[in-house]
Amino acid sequence: MGRGDLEGTVSPSGRDELARKFVEWRSLVLDASRCPVRDVLDRVGDKWTTLIVMALAGGPQRFGALTRAAPDISKRMLTQTLRNLERDGLVARTVYPTKPPSVDYRLTALGGAMLEPLAALIRWAEQSHPAIVAARRRFDEGPAEESAA
Amino acid sequence: MGRGDLEGTVSPSGRDELARKFVEWRSLVLDASRCPVRDVLDRVGDKWTTLIVMALAGGPQRFGALTRAAPDISKRMLTQTLRNLERDGLVARTVYPTKPPSVDYRLTALGGAMLEPLAALIRWAEQSHPAIVAARRRFDEGPAEESAA
DNA sequence: CAGCATCCAGTATGATACTG
DNA sequence: CAGTATCATACTGGATGCTG
């Protein structure tokens, strides 16, 4: 079956690992309908989490500083995102009973551990973006006449 | 300033990189309101993309096989997810004009390159999940009485 | 088998105004 | 300053039925 061959140019290491992971993963999905990976990845997926984590990578930040760091986030969403991160133990919230009150947020050790894999993904995203944009234009313009001989 | 110190236990390498990245990133967000990273990460974020990519990590799959691989995905969402991946050049779609028709999907080189960073993130998610679950329980039960002395 | 069109519900997000 | 409450809305994703 010549149609089933894998291209050899793709790094096989990550591929193999993922393939195995997927098998475990799938059974978890079937069992619990809420596997660990999805549980955590859903957070990464939502609109603001990664942005906030990145903003906190440089050190503790106050609420207002975070607002300025991501000007297009609403207070509502910022609060909610921070609450989720705090709930998950990725971010620590500290209230200083000054007047007016000030609060700062910092990554916990658990949250800090996310930075490396996140950086890897972001590095990939940056590198691939031109190719992706090009692919999109090709897809949107060309009628996409592909089929097997 | 006891409140401003960073904990030393967190890996500083990823932290530094992310902090720098964030600065560049933010300016892009401000400029274009649609930076490369967000553009790509939004895809990772949606419900099915990572699952499908993982399912394809092991090699080309037919549409029906993918349906079985992720039993809780609807045909509608599977099609849509695959179209997006195809549009972005991460997945190649091949039609075999048999009867009934069969179609298979495989990762392109571009798509395959995503596997490594994705694997890193998933590894982190798996490792951290117990701690996250514990943190959630603590957060949900305890009244969370934290404040600075 | 693979895929599209339509309809519909739930959720995610934003805008705005109010509070300690 | 750092939120909370409420409302409005857009988008996501699921169910179903039809087509080639």
Give the number of beta-carbon pairs within 8 Å between A and B: 284
Residue B9 lies in a domain: no
> Within a 10 A sphere around the Cβ of B58, how many other Cβ atoms?
17
Could you list the protein residues whose CB lies below 7 A from any atom in strand C?
Answer: A 46-48, 72-77, 100-101; B 62-65, 67, 75-76, 79, 82-83, 93, 95, 100-104
Of B114, B113, B96, B97, whose CA–CA distance to B105 is shortest? B96
Residue A130 lies in a domain: yes
Residue A10 lies in a domain: no
Contacts of B131 (CB under 8 A, 6+ apart): A89, A110
Question: pLDDT digit string (tens) for B75-90?
Answer: 999 999 999 999 999 9
Residue B47 lies in a domain: yes
Interface subset of A 50-89, CB within 8 angstroms of B:
50-51, 53-55, 57-60, 69-72, 86-89
Kindly state the average pLDDT of the residues B81-101: 95
Q: Looking at the predicted structure, is the pLDDT value of residue B14 above 80?
A: no
> Quick one: pLDDT band at residue A148, thresholds 50, 70, 90?
low
> Quick one: pLDDT band at residue A15, thresholds 50, 70, 90?
confident
How high is the mean pLDDT of chain A?
83
DSSP strands (E only) in chain A: 61-62, 91-96, 102-107
Question: pLDDT digit string (tens) for B18-57?
Answer: 777 777 666 655 555 467 788 888 888 888 999 899 999 9
Residue B51 lies in domain: 33-140
CATH number of the structural domain spanning residue A55: 1.10.10.10
Residue A21 lies in a domain: no
Q: Looking at the predicted structure, is the pLDDT value of residue B8 above 50?
A: no
Nearest CA distance, A81 vs chain B (angstrom): 14
Q: Give the pTM.
A: 0.84
Q: Count of domains in chain B?
A: 1
Residue A1 lies in a domain: no
> Quick one: pLDDT band at residue A1, thresholds 50, 70, 90?
very low
